[in-house]
Structure 1
């Protein structure tokens, strides 16, 4: 009796997992990591401060409908899809409106947002050990 219940339970779990994987797959025109109205406006390599090897990628997005910028930091090479320290920060060029995210992440830090219509932004990505890429007064609207 217990064997039959277990088999039924496992079959149900397998069907549910299959449905979730199919339903979880994003369609071709799906929203990006920041949302459906955001377009990528910048991609920047984050390099190791000693040997210059690439450790991560900082991506910046903008939505003309919301006037907001968004940023994420991904790991690269041995830091890609591996739990490691990743950080991202964004603010207006004058330093106001700061939003940040940092910690031990498998895929990326962020997204973080700032409303900066008709203004420049500062953005920073870190992957790991304080290997940082910082851009000041960029993507001016």
Structure 2
């Protein structure tokens, strides 16, 4: 009878330890997720604006603007929306300093988004343009001054 009790206790202890090990390994896997949680512009960027394209009328896209305080750079992307989301269609994005210099643009037949494009403009305003589809755009001048 005493041997049977020891065996039952040992089995309960083994089950308890196995459960604790599984919980710990699950926690480690879940804890590892933020390492891959970088945004579309990079891990140091935070979204500072999201704008509908066009500003009025039927929405066809979204212009997103990001900023990295560690690099002093802004980033922009244009996503399709509605009939233009997740389908190959014209998408374009442009970013520059508020005076029009130092910019980048990206446009073409994309499935998900145009960009990312970057500009270094610490302490300055920026201009951004998003377009989905061709001819339907949103232009923001001298925004996100910093």
- The structure that is helix-richer by fraction is 2
Q: Indicate whether 1:134 and 2:134 are aligned.
A: no
Quick one: distance in 2 between partners of 1:64 and 1:129? 33
Which protein shows a greater Rg?
2
**Deviation at residue 129 of structure 1 after TM alignment:** 2.7
- Unmatched tracts of structure 1, length 5 or more: 1-25
Distance 1:112 1:91, change over 3 A: same
Deviation at 1:47, TM superposition (A): 2.2
Matched residue pairs, number?
A: 114
Q: CA RMSD in A?
A: 1.6
**TM-score scaled by length of structure 1:** 0.78
TM alignment of 1:28-107, pairs within 5 A: 28=34, 30-47=37-54, 52-107=57-112
| TM-score normalized with structure 2 length | 0.75
- Report the counterpart of residue 115 of structure 1 in structure 2: 120
Q: Distance in 2 between matches of 1:114 and 1:47?
A: 23
Kept in 1, the 8 Å contact 2:127–2:141? The answer is yes
> Matched residues in 2 for 1:111 and 1:140: separation?
20
Runs of 5+ in structure 2 lacking a partner? 1-31
Shift of 1:95: 0.5
Q: 1:27 & 1:85 partners in 2: Cα distance? A: 33
